[in-house]
Amino acid sequence: MAAISYSNCPTSSSIRSNSYLAPSPSSSLSANSRRPRVFSVSKKFRPQMISHDSPRYWNVLNVQDGSVATAESPLATETPLIKLKDGLTLSTSENESSEAAGFDIKETGSSVSITVVGASGDLAKKKIFPALFALYYEDCLPEHFTVFGYARSKMTDEDLRNMVSKTLTCRIDKRENCSEKMEQFLKRCFYHSGQYDSEENFSELDKKLKEHEGDRASNRLFYLSIPPNIFIDSVRCASTSASSSKGWTRVIVEKPFGRDSESSAALTSGLKQYLGEDQIFRIDHYLGKELVENLSVLRFSNLIFEPLWSRQYIRNVQFIFSEDFGTEGRGGYFDNYGIIRDIMQNHLLQILALFAMETPVSLDAEDIRNEKVKVLRSMKPLQLENVVIGQYKSHVKGGVTYPAYTDDKTVPKGSLTPTFAAAALFINNARWDGVPFLMKAGKALHTKRAEIRVQFRHVPGNLYSRSFGTDLDRATNELVIRVQPDEAIYLKINNKVPGLGMRLDRSNLNLHYAARYAKEIPDAYERLLLDAIEGERRLFIRSDELDAAWSLFTPLLKELEEKKIVPEFYPYGSRGPVGAHYLAARHNVRWGDMSAEHTKDD
């Protein structure tokens, strides 16, 4: 039966788990929620749970008149409430059996307040507030929600609204009622100025939050959009003075999660002094990108890919990230981290884990994260000989001078911090033994792009090998998942050029998102914020994943720093250090984005 949703939100988990591919209705539910629950009691309302299409929405049958209502599950709200349409709420003691559960009708609903800690900062302005507005525009936020900005800067509610309004867009021009929606959204935004280590200031925030929450069950989400050295202080103050007493409290933590294994472990134990692991949402925004989400769909819902997904057919896999701008404005932060910590250890490694994992038991967060962590734990720590590092230098092009990394005033002169790195990694398991997984990440390169390239093996005894000359690599299939920009999935195949002769050509079977779908793709932060509100942890990083990720990179990072390895300098706007080609060649790999036939379109 189709779920009846009272929300128009096109991206809520109810819709996502209810895809046309029709996974089993319970496929995205936690183990606890899989058992059908039957609630019955009061004379007036005798709702009976008949299906749960998502963790968030349950279809509830009124056994008296046979009508079906969509209810928000207590699992989603983490409060013992089942919210029916029209603001009615059934509260229940969450009885697991089919025994009477004791419903009691209250005319309230739960509220969610989202506090952006560090609201005056770059990320808040650039990503978080716009994502919240987009969710509001799409009707994805709960009916009773409030957004609070918190930072030291002195601002009024009105100042915050002015600041936020400058970055809000409806993403696509001429969307209906955009300015009214913006006004309505801004009315829900408030500001409180305070120190990050002041329990008193957080108590003041708590008071303001309570004024907005009223009698409702109150759920609170804190987004730590602040430098990492103040994460723990903020969490201590938020949890002791501003956590919810009648609902859930969750904290989204932004990267960097430490600089190495030790600092990451210290951060985790610091956070866990005040929060349970289930309250911590470690964000890696690459996991929220549409094509990264699609990776598992592509692999597990198409018969043609999964059988090929192993060392038997795949020669190598490449994860490529490039930006055509430098560290502009973020040099101070970047110099302490470098490209390996900024991009490889998190974004690219997370994609690798998703790419290489075994089929999870279900789409449950824990099942997926269990498989990802197994991949990470099967990998050898990175060796220096399998890494190339680079740093961009100044370059003059068309009369314009592009700066060197060290020209940034916030970067120490003579800094050896890499702005580019290439690496070869290996997964020591039966599926991937011997297959090089190459990563390449760089700033100030010739293009902005993130993609996954899967290069397949040669066709054994290829009948047409003469048509390819001596370069058999040109004849192999390559699957490209272009994460951004201009999202696409395409497969390079060999085909005959039409005509009477027998000439072969290479063509792309292309799923080009802009051509296939009229609808714009939501920003990663929208998906992740919605998931955090809904308690969906699949796209957030669990602490054991984080430990395993750091174990792979920490020895290398220490060696680079202790030996003061000098990066290879490459001109701003170039294709990066040539060392990356030698590294690939040593593993019999050619970078897919560098091949002679690589054109702008692919």
Active site residue 347: yes
Footprint on residues 203-242 left by ligand NDP (CB under 6 A): 225-228, 230
**d(Cα 414, Cα 536) in Å, to the nearest integer?**
44
**Partner touching 152 among ligand NDP, ligand LXAUTJHC, none, CB below 5 to 8 Å by kind:** ligand NDP
What is the contact surface with ligand LXAUTJHC in residues (CB under 6 A)?
Answer: 285, 323, 342, 450
Distance of closest approach, residue 332 Cβ to ligand NDP, in angstroms: 8
Question: How far from 346 is each of 283, 340, 534, 563, CA to CA, in Å?
Answer: 10, 9, 23, 24
Query: Could you give the angle at the alpha carbon of 82 between the alpha carbons of 131 and 14, nearest 5°?
Result: 45
- For residue 103, the tally of other CB atoms under 10 A from its CB is 19
CB 298 within 8 A of CB 588: no
- For residue 246, the tally of other CB atoms under 10 A from its CB is 12
Q: Please identify, using beta-carbon distances, which residue of 105 and 514 lies nearer to ligand LXAUTJHC.
A: 514
* Tokens of residue 598, six digits: 């690589």
**d(Cα 223, Cα 137) in Å, to the nearest integer?**
20
* Tokens of residue 512, six digits: 């080009």
Which residues, including other chains, have CB under 8 Å from residue 173's CB and lie 6 or more apart?
none
Part of the chain binding ligand NDP (CB under 6 A), chosen from 51-59, 150-158, 291-299, 398-406 = 150-158
**Partner touching 227 among ligand NDP, ligand LXAUTJHC, none, CB below 5 to 8 Å by kind:** ligand NDP
> Applying CB under 6 A, does 270 fall inside the site for ligand NDP?
no
Instruction: Determine if the peptide bond prior to 567 is cis (ω within 30°).
Output: no
Query: For helices 349-356 and 543-562, what crossing angle results, to 10°?
Result: 130
Q: Please identify, using beta-carbon distances, which residue of 285 and 542 lies nearer to ligand LXAUTJHC.
A: 285
Buried residues in 179-217 as b, exposed as e (16+ CB within 10 A): eebbeebbebbbbbbbbbebbebbebbbebbeebbeebb
Q: Which of 15, 71, 135, 151 binds ligand NDP (CB under 6 A)?
A: 151
> Applying CB under 6 A, does 152 fall inside the site for ligand NDP?
yes
User: Total residues at the site for ligand NDP (CB under 6 A)?
Assistant: 19
**Partner touching 226 among ligand NDP, ligand LXAUTJHC, none, CB below 5 to 8 Å by kind:** ligand NDP
* Tokens of residue 63, six digits: 């056994």
Distance of closest approach, residue 327 Cβ to ligand LXAUTJHC, in angstroms: 7
Q: Please identify, using beta-carbon distances, which residue of 300 and 513 lies nearer to ligand LXAUTJHC.
A: 513
> Applying CB under 6 A, does 170 fall inside the site for ligand NDP?
no
Closest residue to ligand NDP, based on beta-carbon distance: 121
Distance of closest approach, residue 563 Cβ to ligand LXAUTJHC, in angstroms: 25
Q: Which of 47, 55, 74, 118 binds ligand NDP (CB under 6 A)?
A: 118
**Set 52, 192, 347, 581: catalytic member:** 347
Three-state DSSP state, 160: helix
Distance of closest approach, residue 553 Cβ to ligand NDP, in angstroms: 17
Positions marked active-site: 347
- Chain residues binding ligand NDP by CB under 6 A are 118, 120-124, 151-153, 196, 225-228, 230, 254-256, 333
